[in-house]
Amino acid sequence: MSLKSSMLVDKHFIISEIDKRIYGSFIEHLGRAVYGGIYEPGHPMADENGFRKDAIEVIKALQVPIIRYPGGNFVSGYNWEDGVGPKDQRKQLLELAWWTTETNEVGTNEFADWAKLVDTEVMMAVNLGTRGIDAARNLVEYCNHPSGSYWSNLRISHGYKEPHRFKTWCLGNEMDGPWQIGAKTAVEYGRLANETAKAMKWVDPTIELVACGSSSSGMSTFGYWEDTVLDLCYDQVDYLSLHAYYNNNNNDTANFLASSLNLDHFIGSVASISDAVQAKKRSKKRLMLSLDEWNVWKTIGTSRADERWQIAPPEFEDVYNHEDALAVGCYIITILKHADRVKIGCLAQLINVIAPIMTERNGAIWMQTTYYPFLHASSYGRGTALLSMVDSPKYDAKDYTDVPYLESIAVHNEEQGEVTIFAVNRHLSESMELNVDLRSFGNVSLIQHIVLEHDDLKAVNTKENPNNVVPHNNGITVIDGANIQAKLSKASWNVIRLKVNGA
Ligand code: AHR
């Protein structure tokens, strides 16, 4: 082992309490996410409402606290009224975001029912593409108002006496993107977001609202968009969104694994722009960030223009390999490093569409490589994110300089008396010795050292071979009082769980 790195972790050096919603995800009416993913009447594992129980089980295991719905680009052409009421009267419609036919079999109420089954909150999005204030405030009234008004009574007549009480709402989706139905300029959107937010909060003052940031940091309007939009709606909204997708389509793994540095810079830039608007407005309110779409996306930009109007065709069914799991691990660590600003994160998406979980129509379910870092972080990354002093050898990649081979963070779960270190060794051919000084915690003991590693960076899990890339618990960590020495295999994701008795 020639690589050596170290972390000094102190329980008093706190970045922030971690908002559990950073382990959120996203399900859009897109491809086989809803139809054929969570919902497939007639499947041997379907419950009486058509929801696949095998999908419920693996999603529940992920402990996803919030799921964004129904889009995505889909929401910008969606009339929510088409998705409620008796199913046999629902319209089958052309869907213009993805050029499919939407059956409307699943709508707001069915999704709310399903969300309960997987113990998650719904993060609703309203259509600010083809629609506006009126449809949005009516949807809040339908979902959240107890009773006694037209829309709340309609919900009750649909069999939902209790309001859904959805708390977090997105004011549209990627409204800066020319591909968006009803795309807007920053000024058009900022004004609309402001006025829609006012009306929605007048219906239910307890809700929280997310304004659309740029659809990516690569947009030519990035920066100007955030500044202008926030200038127009800052006082009415609670979060600003960020979307970030990466891939290794150029087959440069060292560069790909460094892409979390781009995410880090992106989050920092958006926080700075937001803070500049706060300063200009002399506002006491500091806006938080919602990274409500992030992932590896290899099939981004692929078009199915010749195959229009199918019902739930397979779409963006990316097959994730070992290096993708490492990248996802690096993104999660990066999000945790920004736990003071990023309060919501949505792994986009959850099932079948750029997803950690795959299903076969009328058949099996299996977990992709990326399922595992997300599972570990969601399971053991609750509590407080700690600011560690990290020392790591570095490398230069095509788009990044000074990339640390070690990407890491420590999370303190005081309630459980645990500290967990999440660490990726980015080195593709050498293992690394990691020394962690935990002196403020006193003596520590090892609970487990989980490792995700594989000799082949391109190794994948498939229906036929679902356990090709899976974690093991045989990581090597040696404890000496408050110091630990861990071996991080080449190109590996590591979860070192420590008991900190008396911490
Ligand atoms: O997650 C897939 C798509 O990516 C979403 O619909 C859109 O918001 C983004 O461009």
**Each residue of 103-152: pLDDT tens digit?**
999 999 999 999 999 999 999 999 999 999 999 999 999 999 999 999 99
What pLDDT, on the 0 to 100 scale, is given for residue 302? Answer: 82
The residue among 410, 430, 268, 251 whose CA lies nearest residue 336 is 410
Per-residue pLDDT tens digits for 395-407? 999 999 999 999 9
How far away, in angstroms, is 367 Cα from ligand 1 center? 21
What average pLDDT does the segment 165-178 reach? 98
By alpha-carbon position, which residue is closest to atom 4 of ligand 1?
72
What pLDDT, on the 0 to 100 scale, is given for residue 489? Answer: 98
Q: Is the CB of 73 under 6 A from ligand 1?
A: yes
By alpha-carbon position, which residue is closest to atom 8 of ligand 1?
72
What average pLDDT does the segment 53-73 reach? 98
Q: Is 14 exposed, middle or buried (0-12, 13-18, 19+ CB in 10 A)?
A: middle
Distance of CA 155 to the CA centre of its chain: 29
CA distance 311 to 314: 9
Q: Say how many CA atoms lie within 13 Å of 121 toward its Cβ.
A: 17
Q: What is the dihedral of CA 279, 281, 282, 284, to 10 degrees?
A: -90
Report residue 440 as tokens.
Answer: 């403020």
Q: Is the CB of 173 under 6 A from ligand 1?
A: yes
What pLDDT, on the 0 to 100 scale, is given for residue 306? Answer: 73
Kind plus residue range of the DSSP H or E element containing 224 = helix 224-233
Ligand 1, closest atom to CA 28? 6
Q: Ligand 1: which of 27, 293, 300 to mutate, judged by most atoms within 8 Å of the beta carbon?
A: 293
What average pLDDT does the segment 40-62 reach? 98
By alpha-carbon position, which residue is closest to atom 6 of ligand 1?
72
What pLDDT, on the 0 to 100 scale, is given for residue 176? Answer: 98
By alpha-carbon position, which residue is closest to atom 5 of ligand 1?
72
What are the DSSP calls for 394-425, one per residue? EE--SS-SSEESEEEEEEEETTTTEEEEEEEE
Q: Ligand 1: which of 243, 304, 349, 352 to mutate, judged by most atoms within 8 Å of the beta carbon?
A: 243
Q: Is the CB of 293 under 6 A from ligand 1?
A: yes
How far away, in angstroms, is 112 Cα from ligand 1 center? 21
Q: Which residues pair with 420 in a beta bridge?
A: 411, 497
Q: Is 465 exposed, middle or buried (0-12, 13-18, 19+ CB in 10 A)?
A: exposed
Give the active site residues: 174, 293
Q: Is the CB of 102 under 6 A from ligand 1?
A: no
Q: With a cut of 80, say whether residue 2 has pLDDT above it.
A: no
The secondary structure of the chain in percent helix, strand, coil, rounded to multiples of 5, reads: 30, 25, 45
How far away, in angstroms, is 1 Cα from ligand 1 center? 42
Q: Ligand 1: which of 30, 32, 68, 73 to mutate, judged by most atoms within 8 Å of the beta carbon?
A: 73
Q: Ligand 1: which of 25, 26, 28, 349 to mutate, judged by most atoms within 8 Å of the beta carbon?
A: 28
What average pLDDT does the segment 80-98 reach? 97
Q: Is the CB of 71 under 6 A from ligand 1?
A: yes
By alpha-carbon position, which residue is closest to atom 2 of ligand 1?
72
| Sign of the dihedral defined by the CA atoms of residues 48, 49, 54, 57, in that order | negative
How far away, in angstroms, is 72 Cα from ligand 1 center? 5
Ligand 1, closest atom to CA 74? 6
Looking at 145-185, list the stretches that DSSP marks H as alpha helix, in order from N- to C-terminal side: 150-157
CA distance 227 to 234: 10
8 Å CB contact between 177 and 183? yes
Q: Is 1 exposed, middle or buried (0-12, 13-18, 19+ CB in 10 A)?
A: exposed
Q: What is the dihedral of CA 222, 225, 228, 231, to 10 degrees?
A: -90
Share of the chain above pLDDT 70, in %: 99
Q: Is the CB of 110 under 6 A from ligand 1?
A: no
What pLDDT, on the 0 to 100 scale, is given for residue 115? Answer: 98
Q: How far is CA 20 from CA 195, 206, 380, in A?
A: 30, 19, 11
The rounded mean pLDDT for the chain is 97
Is the peptide bond between 72 and the residue preceding it cis, with omega within 30 degrees of 0?
yes
Cβ-Cβ contacts under 8 Å for 157 (sequence gap 6 or more): none
CA distance 395 to 147: 61
For β-strands 14-17 and 3-8, DSSP reports them as: unpaired
Q: With a cut of 70, say whether residue 502 has pLDDT above it.
A: no
Q: With a cut of 90, say whether residue 465 has pLDDT above it.
A: yes
8 Å CB contact between 209 and 240? no
Amino acid residing at 432: M
CA distance 72 to 407: 30
Per-residue pLDDT tens digits for 240-292? 999 999 999 999 999 999 999 999 999 999 999 999 999 999 999 999 999 99
Band of pLDDT at residue 503, cut at 50, 70 and 90: very low
What pLDDT, on the 0 to 100 scale, is given for residue 305? Answer: 65
What pLDDT, on the 0 to 100 scale, is given for residue 1? Answer: 54
* 95 compared with 305, residue with greater pLDDT: 95
What average pLDDT does the segment 401-415 reach? 98
How far away, in angstroms, is 343 Cα from ligand 1 center? 20
